[in-house]
Each structure stands twice: as structure tokens, then as C-alpha cells.
């Protein structure tokens, strides 16, 4: 994938950013093309190697967000009870860089949080996944972040329990 200066991209670990420069750099005696990506207040250099597609992608198109919203509003998948197993599963989902995976993490951890208090790893993972998704959502749908946060909260809110009359 060839990115250009000015392109908006999603970094697998840091989220929404912008290509600031494309530069040939010499690292450990080898010349390699790198993308400088500005993500909020940091700049990172991403090598344009065989792993580039796993590290950088274009933001999710607006039309595809319908699928993401359906994941968020859908039924949660049960997370492992063991915190180590849960951490590994969540880490695996977070590292694939896909917006769908972030949605699964957010939905499943939010549901777990309704059942019990989250541990520090779970809270940190949830916060990171939400932040990354909210910024991408806002960019893709051209919606202010505060509105995205409200819409996300509405999607994650459990449905009221029907009572018999």
C-alpha cells in the first residue's frame, strides 16, 4: 500500500493519524522507506516493509460503519473468566488493528463491566479501544467527538427489561 503525505491513516496501536513525510532512512546498514505518522502529539516512523498492511490502514469508510455499529449494539460474547486468558484474548484482538475487533473489545468489556468491576488491564484496554474507535468514527462520519461519545454510549446501553402489564 502506498500512502502519500497528507493521507489520514489508522495505526494498529495508536489509532488515527496523518502521514507527515515519506523518507528513505538507513537503519542498521539497510536502506528502507519509512512513513512519518503524526498521531495526536507524537510522531512515529513506520517502515514500508512486508508488515506495513498490518501496521497502517486507511480509515473505515462511512458506509462500512453500519456494520461496526451493529457489532456495538449486538449481543456480547462471553470473555474468559481467568484474567490472564482474557488479557491474551483482548490483546490479540487489539493488535490486529481492525475496527471490527475494537468494536468487539468495547462491547464485550462494557458488558463485563455491568456484571463486575473491571481490573486495571481491562479498564486500560477498554479506554484505549474506545479512544481509537471514537477518533476513527468521528473522522469517517464527519461527526464531532462529543456526539460520537454520546452515540457510542447509547449503542452500549443495555436494553430495558420488558415487564408484564
Residue 80 lies in a domain: yes
Q: What is the pLDDT of residues 124-148, one digit of tens each?
A: 999 999 999 999 999 999 999 999 9
- In this structure, are 48 and 123 located in the same domain? no
- In this structure, are 73 and 119 located in the same domain? yes
Residue 2 lies in a domain: no
Inter-axis angle of helices 99-115 and 145-156, nearest 10: 60
Residue 163 lies in a domain: no
Mark 25-44 as b/e (b = at least 16 C-beta within 10 Å): eeeeeeeeebbbbebeeeee
Q: Which of 66, 80, 65 is nearest to 139 (CA)?
A: 65
- In this structure, are 21 and 40 located in the same domain? yes
Of 17, 41, 57, the residue at which a domain comes to its end is: 57
Domains identified in the chain, total number: 2
What DSSP line would sit under 27-83, residue for residue?
A: ETTEEEEEEEEEETTEEEEEE-STTHHHHEEPPPPGGGHHHHHHHHHSPPPPPPSSH
Q: What is the pLDDT of residues 59-72, one digit of tens each?
A: 999 999 889 999 99
pTM of the predicted protein model: 0.88
Residue 164 lies in a domain: no
CATH of the domain at 122: 1.20.58.1290
| Per-residue pLDDT band at 160 (split at 50, 70, 90) | low
- In this structure, are 101 and 143 located in the same domain? yes
- Could you give the CA distance from residue 141 to residue 164 in angstroms, rounded to a whole number? 39
| Per-residue pLDDT band at 158 (split at 50, 70, 90) | low
- In this structure, are 47 and 118 located in the same domain? no
Residue 161 lies in a domain: no
CATH of the domain at 34: 2.40.10.170
Amino acid at each position: 500500500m502506498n500512502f502519500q503525505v497528507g493521507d489520514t491513516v489508522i495505526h494498529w496501536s495508536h489509532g488515527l493519524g496523518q502521514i507527515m513525510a515519506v523518507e528513505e532512512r538507513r537503519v542498521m546498514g539497510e536502506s528502507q522507506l519509512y512513513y512519518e505518522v503524526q498521531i495526536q502529539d507524537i510522531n512515529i516512523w513506520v517502515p514500508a516493509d512486508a508488515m506495513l498492511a498490518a501496521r497502517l490502514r486507511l480509515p473505515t469508510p462511512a458506509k462500512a460503519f453500519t456494520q461496526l455499529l451493529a457489532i456495538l449494539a449486538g449481543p456480547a460474547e462471553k470473555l474468559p473468566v481467568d484474567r490472564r486468558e482474557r488479557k491474551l484474548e483482548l490483546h490479540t484482538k487489539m493488535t490486529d488493528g481492525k475496527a471490527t475487533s475494537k468494536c468487539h473489545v468495547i462491547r464485550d468489556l462494557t458488558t463485563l463491566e455491568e456484571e463486575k468491576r473491571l481490573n486495571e488491564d481491562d479498564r486500560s484496554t477498554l479506554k484505549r479501544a474506545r479512544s481509537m474507535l471514537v477518533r476513527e468514527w468521528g473522522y469517517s462520519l464527519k461527526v464531532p467527538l462529543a456526539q460520537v461519545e454520546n452515540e457510542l454510549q447509547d449503542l452500549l446501553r443495555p436494553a430495558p427489561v420488558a415487564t408484564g402489564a
